[in-house]
């Protein structure tokens, strides 16, 4: 298993191009199942999760030809099962449920278990599908779904769920009649999926709002589409630049999708300038502790909580970070403490008291964003930090070591 070794203390400098969004590419790949034929997807990020998604779709008969754009041939659907081995490595595998019941009228998808950041049930996905006429049974850890043609329904989410909204949105495009999804997740990745579905011939009103109205169509056609940029990858590089007092320009940056994040960086004293597609972090200014509460979009994203916490470790004064989306998303705290951070956790609040300096140590990555926070902290820490279990980072950060090296970081990946 590889580890990443970082010698901290170098201000990052230069330009970094933001890759395609993992959490947009995953549902869009699943959605290709619904329109038989050859699709071309541009800006699909080279990530472990994308490779897992391709392996999963290949089990269903989808064929891929790598390149830019990626060629996806979903002409022949030969299977409708998402096995445990795949769902357990990537929960987003449940995104095939909606497309499969819509096209094949059946699906067998392993029920995801708990995960490092919380219980993460899929009850709302299943409840919504049942409202659309899908018969759901649980058999030996698998969700077995069967349907005649799906029928439109009005579905009110008890809580906004990103992949839940995406699953039902996909299913609804091929349902008979109109589906209304209320209290839908408004994350930009849901919007990207909705635009992809629209390009394939779906009729969707209310894209990017909390009410999605979908008028079912009998069939969809394959298309060429470019995946949006990854706002969380962008936010991660902003934090890395700010913590090292560097000067970094992000290109292909989804500026409009980062409003809440940019606001918090600025409130904390980070000097930023933004123009369409570009954000620059400037050195200087005093980093000050600010409070953050994670919320569904357009609020501050839970996927940026750990990285922002790393930054707050070196801010002047205290900050309180409140996690409201996932019940167990403070796994990075004990690792950041190993680097000398002063953090105490009570329930879903973390109080971070800024320290003058972090010091390198061996640390362990626990989930994707927690790992990113350790990289950020290590970039600013004195001496050497070794980050173990870096496969978590491979799931969501394209060419991380290369991108950071090009910005001047002393970082390398070695076989442990
Ligand atoms: N929830 C339920 N029942 C459901 C579904 C969700 O109670 O049926 C709860 C969850 O337990 C959680 C809340 O609703 O408390 C929101 O979870 P959501 O369903 O929105 O999360 P998700 O769809 O499983 C996606 C991203 C996550 C991101 C969250 C929140 C993808 C593939 N994953 O997960 O991304 O943290 O939304 O924004 O889109 C990551 O990229 O590192 C990552 C974890």
Q: State the DSSP code for 229.
A: B
Cα separations (Å) of 191 from 21, 150, 180, 210, 212? Answer: 12, 22, 15, 11, 10
pLDDT at residue 337, rounded to an integer: 98
**3-class SS of residue 332:** helix
Q: Identify the residue whose tokens are 């870096």.
A: 390
295, two tokens: 């919320």
Q: How far is the CA of 91 from the centre of ligand 1 (A)?
A: 9
CB of 373 closer than 6 angstroms to any ligand 1 atom:
no
Minimum-distance ligand 1 atom for the alpha carbon of 166: 23
pLDDT at residue 345, rounded to an integer: 97
Q: How far is the CA of 162 from the centre of ligand 1 (A)?
A: 6
For ligand 1, atom 33, the nearest C-alpha belongs to 23
Q: How far is the CA of 279 from the centre of ligand 1 (A)?
A: 27
pLDDT string in tens for the chain (416-residue length): 899 999 999 999 999 999 999 999 999 999 999 999 999 999 999 999 999 999 999 999 999 999 999 999 999 999 999 999 999 989 999 999 999 999 999 999 999 866 677 768 899 999 999 999 999 999 999 999 999 889 999 999 999 999 999 999 999 999 999 999 999 999 999 999 999 999 999 999 999 999 999 999 999 999 999 999 999 999 999 999 999 999 999 999 999 999 999 999 999 999 999 999 999 999 988 999 999 999 999 999 999 999 999 999 999 999 999 999 998 899 999 999 999 999 999 999 999 999 999 999 999 988 999 999 999 999 999 999 999 999 999 999 999 999 999 999 999 999 87
Contact 273, 282 (CB under 8 A): yes
Q: State the DSSP code for 111.
A: P
Active-site annotation holds for 313: no
Question: For the purposes of burial, counting CB atoms within 10 Å of the CB of 36, is it exposed (0-12), middle (13-18) or buried (19 or more)?
Answer: middle
pLDDT at residue 285, rounded to an integer: 85
CB of 43 closer than 6 angstroms to any ligand 1 atom:
no
Question: Could you give the angle at the alpha carbon of 147 between the alpha carbons of 144 and 150, nearest 5°?
Answer: 130
CB of 120 closer than 6 angstroms to any ligand 1 atom:
yes
**Closest C-alpha among 59, 46, 133 to residue 93:** 59
CB of 239 closer than 6 angstroms to any ligand 1 atom:
no
pLDDT at residue 297, rounded to an integer: 98
Cα separations (Å) of 53 from 57, 59, 62, 300? Answer: 6, 10, 11, 27
**Closest C-alpha among 150, 164, 63 to residue 100:** 150
CB of 403 closer than 6 angstroms to any ligand 1 atom:
no
Q: Does the predicted model carry a pTM greater than 0.85? A: yes
What phi and psi values does residue 55 have, to the nearest 5 degrees? -65, -40
What phi and psi values does residue 364 have, to the nearest 5 degrees? -120, 130
Minimum-distance ligand 1 atom for the alpha carbon of 325: 15
Q: Identify the residue whose tokens are 């969700």.
A: 143
């Amino acid at each position: 298993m590889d580890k990443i070794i970082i010698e901290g203390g170098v201000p990052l400098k230069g330009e970094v191009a933001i890759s395609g969004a993992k959490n947009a590419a995953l549902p869009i790949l699943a959605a290709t199942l619904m329109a038989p034929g050859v699709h071309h997807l541009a800006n699909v990020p080279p990530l472990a999760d994308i490779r897992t998604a391709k392996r999963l779709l290949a089990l269903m008969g989808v064929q891929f030809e790598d390149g830019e754009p990626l060629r996806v041939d979903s002409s022949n659907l030969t299977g409708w099962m998402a096995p445990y081995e795949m769902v357990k490595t990537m929960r987003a595998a449940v995104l095939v449920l909606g497309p499969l019941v819509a096209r094949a009228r059946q699906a067998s998808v392993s029920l995801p278990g708990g995960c490092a950041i919380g219980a993460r049930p899929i009850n709302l996905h299943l409840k919504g599908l049942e409202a659309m006429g899908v018969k759901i049974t649980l058999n030996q850890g698998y969700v077995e779904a069967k349907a005649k043609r799906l029928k439109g329904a009005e579905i009110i989410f008890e809580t906004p769920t990103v992949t839940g909204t995406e699953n039902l949105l996909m299913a609804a495009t091929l349902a008979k009649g109109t589906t209304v999804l209320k209290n839908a997740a408004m994350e930009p990745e849901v919007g990207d999926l909705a635009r992809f579905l629209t390009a394939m011939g779906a009729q969707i009103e209310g894209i990017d709002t909390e009410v999605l109205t979908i008028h079912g169509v009998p069939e969809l056609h394959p298309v060429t589409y470019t995946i949006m940029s990854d706002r969380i990858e962008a936010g991660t590089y902003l934090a890395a630049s700010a913590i090292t007092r560097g000067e970094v320009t992000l290109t292909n940056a989804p500026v409009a999708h980062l409003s809440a994040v940019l606001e918090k960086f600025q409130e904390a004293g980070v000097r930023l300038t933004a123009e369409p597609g570009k954000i620059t972090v400037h050195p200087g200014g005093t980093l000050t502790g600010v409070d953050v509460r994670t919320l569904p979009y357009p609020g501050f994203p839970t996927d940026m909580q750990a990285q922002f916490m790393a930054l707050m470790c070196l801010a002047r004064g205290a900050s309180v970070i409140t996690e409201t989306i996932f019940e167990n998303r403070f796994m990075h705290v004990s690792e950041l403490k190993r680097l000398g951070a002063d953090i105490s956790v009570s329930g879903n609040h973390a109080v971070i008291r800024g320290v003058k300096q972090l010091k390198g140590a061996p640390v362990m990555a626990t989930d994707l964003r927690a790992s990113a926070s350790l990289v950020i902290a290590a970039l600013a820490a004195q001496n050497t930090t070794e980050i173990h279990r870096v496969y978590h980072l491979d799931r969501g950060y394209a060419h991380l070591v290369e991108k950071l090296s090009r910005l001047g970081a002393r970082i390398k990946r070695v076989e442990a």
